Each structure stands twice: as structure tokens, then as C-alpha cells.
Amino acid sequence: MKNFAYTRAGTVEAAITMLGQQPNSKFLGGGTNLVDLMRENIEQPDALVDVSGLQSGGISELPDGGISIGASVRNSAVANHRLVRERYPLLAQAILAGASGQIRNMATTGGNLMQRTRCYYFYDEAAQCNKREPGTGCDAVGGFNRMHAILGTSENCIATHPSDMCVAFAALDAMVHVTGSKGERTITFEEFHRLPGNTPNVDTNLGPDELITAIQLPALAMAKNSHYRKVRDRSSYAFALVSVAAALETANGKVRSARVALGGVAHKPWRAHQVERVLTGADANAETFRRAAEAELAAARGFGYNNFKIELAKRTLVSVLSELTESGKAQ
């Protein structure tokens, strides 16, 4: 690992100033992704500004019944919080489906949004990767692409976003609060991460001088009936092949409202708008769920080793929605 200067920020304002004063510098959260990437020479900052100790308000209830999660709150603290477990069970489940106990104790909420793909070609300096070195090509297209994307890909990049937590945030319409040298702003979750297009090296729409300070979840009563299902190659401590985060509200056998997002299928957490469109007002049964899944995956494209993900995503969607129809009746 290349050496670097290290400073610890006491306030958000100080962190932004420290970042601005040091060329080629980065914010450091729990380090679970950045330290690894630096050891592999994928990331080579000259300076790190440690924001992991910033007191960003912890987890608090908002006046409308939603919650705010400070960017430095650790994954395990979010998953264990009473309000998260009661009001947004899919978020607690998504977090607990990711990484290991040790990593969840280290990793921060803001850092989770900023983690980079686990595409093995991105990690392999001997491979061609437009995300790591723009313009060099993509060895995953035509390579071993079992873990790769089927939706929203470009010829330049078929990497997936590795987060579980973010899939739940996408379904919940989370808002990302950020502060930069020009002040504060809010980014919708859907706008936060980017599709690869011609610039797969740019993962998010966060400005180079901006720091995530909090994630806010709007009140959503139907999220009590929600679930996160992760399908992977082994039952624990593995990245998703496909995952589904969903909340469902039914009445008299019909879907009143649905919130659905997919993980493991795209360069960003994939909000399933087609699924939600087909479901709303339709009969809550497996036939509708299959039709909704077909609509969402109609644009999907496999790259050989990941073709199976298209059918797997459809089946996982039907399974989770069927489960939520049953659990919704009991509530």
C-alpha cells in the first residue's frame, strides 16, 4: 500500500476543508472497502480524512414518523435499532444479509453507499477495466461474468453494485443528505448512484467535495410488511446473485401499493418501477406477480455465465411478493 497523510476530522465542516486542502484525498469511514482497495493499489489517495468518528446524530425519529440515520452509524447499530426493526424490517434484514458480524461492526452507513463494485476484473490490475482505467475495455463482457449485471448495462461496464443495504434504501425512497464546500443539499436515492454509460469510472452523483451526512427514510406504514431476500452461492457471507427488497400493501385481494427494488442485477440498486406499475391495483396473486416480474426483466440481457439471473430474478420476485401477500393478511 502506498503511504498517505492521515487526519481525523472533528466536524463535517472541518472534514470538507481538510479534503479541499489536500490534493488527491479521500474520506475514510470504516475502511472495510477503501483499505482493501488501497492494499490492492486500486485506490491510491495521497491523503485520507477520517470521518468515521463524526457524531452525525445517530439514529433519530423525524416528526413525520420517518427516521434519520447518521452517516457514521455502523451497520450493526442500524440493524439493531428498535425503530428500524419495527418500521423498516426489510432494512434490518438487508443489512444482516451482508458481510460478516465483524465487518458490520466497522462499516458505516455513508460508506455503504460509497463502496465500489466487487467485479473481479476491477480488482485485477492485469485485467482491462473501464471503471479502473477508462478507455481500456471491459474483460467481464465475454469473460467469466456469473456475478455481473443484466439490467442497465453498457458496452463499457457490466459491474454490479455490491450493497444489500442500498437495495432496501432504494425501495424505501431514502433521501441522501450531503454537505459540500457550497453548502448542503439532498439527493434522492434513485439519483445517487449512476448507470455505467460511457463513464463507468464515476459511481455516484456525489460531488468531489461533498460528504454524506445522513440518510433519511420517509414514513412508510406499509414497510411494516416488507422483506429482503438474498440469493447467493453460499448461505452466508457472500455477495448477492440476485436480491429483492419489497414492501407490499394489499386489501380485499388486490395490491394497493408496492415498493420493490432488486440487487445484484445492475450497476446501481435497481428500483423496480415496472413491477410496481403492474402490481398497483391488480389482483394479489402469483399470476400478477409473474406478469410484473416479466415486465421488469423484459429489458434484461445476459452475458453468458449470468443468463440464469434473468429467470432467478423473476422467481425471487414472485416468491417474495407471494410471501408478503400472506404475511400482509395476518397484519
Cβ closest to another protein, residue 36 vs residue 190:
36
Q: Residue 96 in contact with residue 79, Cβ under 8 Å?
A: yes
Q: Residue 283 in contact with residue 250, Cβ under 8 Å?
A: no
- 272 near another protein, judged by CB under 8 A: no
- 36 near another protein, judged by CB under 8 A: yes
Q: Residue 173 in contact with residue 188, Cβ under 8 Å?
A: yes
- 179 near another protein, judged by CB under 8 A: no
Binding mask 197-216 for another protein (x = CB under 8 A): --------------------
- 178 near another protein, judged by CB under 8 A: no
Distances (CA, A) of 75 to 118, 161, 261: 19, 17, 20
- 76 near another protein, judged by CB under 8 A: yes
Cβ closest to another protein, residue 43 vs residue 296:
43
Q: Which of 31, 197, 218, 302 binds another protein (CB under 8 A)?
A: 31
How many residues belong to the site for another protein (CB under 8 A)?
Answer: 40
Binding mask 77-96 for another protein (x = CB under 8 A): --xx----xx--x--xx--x
Residues 7-26 that bind another protein (CB under 8 A): 8
Q: What ranges in 148-232 are assigned the alpha helix state H?
A: 165-171, 189-192
CA-wise closest residue to 2 among 29, 41, 28: 41
The residue written with cell numbers 416468491 in the block is: 319
Instruction: Name the grid cell of 234.
Output: 453460499
- 144 near another protein, judged by CB under 8 A: no
- C-alpha span between 34 and 116 (Å, rounded): 9
CA-wise closest residue to 78 among 91, 66, 61: 91
Instruction: Give the residues lining the site for another protein (CB under 8 A).
Output: 1-6, 8, 28, 31-32, 35-36, 38-40, 46, 48, 50, 52, 76, 79-80, 85-86, 89, 92-93, 96-97, 99-103, 105-106, 224, 235-237
